[in-house]
Amino acid sequence: MIEDEIQGLDNTMTFDYELKQSSVEESTYFAYVEEIQKIMTERVFIYRKIEDLTYAKENIQIIKEALEALPSNQIGFYKTYNMAIIALLVVDAALKRNDSIGTHMLLPKE
């Protein structure tokens, strides 16, 4: 029975869900958030160019990798990391789309 299996498990493992203070200041995460917002506003807006989308993808990927090197035990980390992931998903979707759809327009190369 499942109850017997659960009781037979080693219950010595504990999980610490408390978010602890580390050496990373919240201002570090805030700086990354501001940079992601700036890139998305300036490069992935309504009027889009392939060059801008490529720039955005490369730079947001750099931010994501920098975040991965930081301790992941603060709320600021998760908020910022999630923002970077979502930004990359938006940019990837925009790069895969060859047509102008709705209010988002892909501008031709100059």
Domains by residue range for the chain, with CATH: 24-98 (1.20.58.100)
Local confidence band at 55 (pLDDT 50, 70, 90 cut-offs): very high
More confident residue, 107 or 58: 58
Local confidence band at 98 (pLDDT 50, 70, 90 cut-offs): confident
Cα separation, 99 vs 60, in Å, equals 23
Name every residue whose Cβ is closer than 8 Å to that of residue 22 and which is 6 or more positions away in sequence: 71, 73, 74
Per-residue DSSP letter, 49: -
10 CB-contact burial (10 Å; exposed 0-12 / middle 13-18 / buried 19+): exposed
Which structure tokens are listed for 85? 């992931």
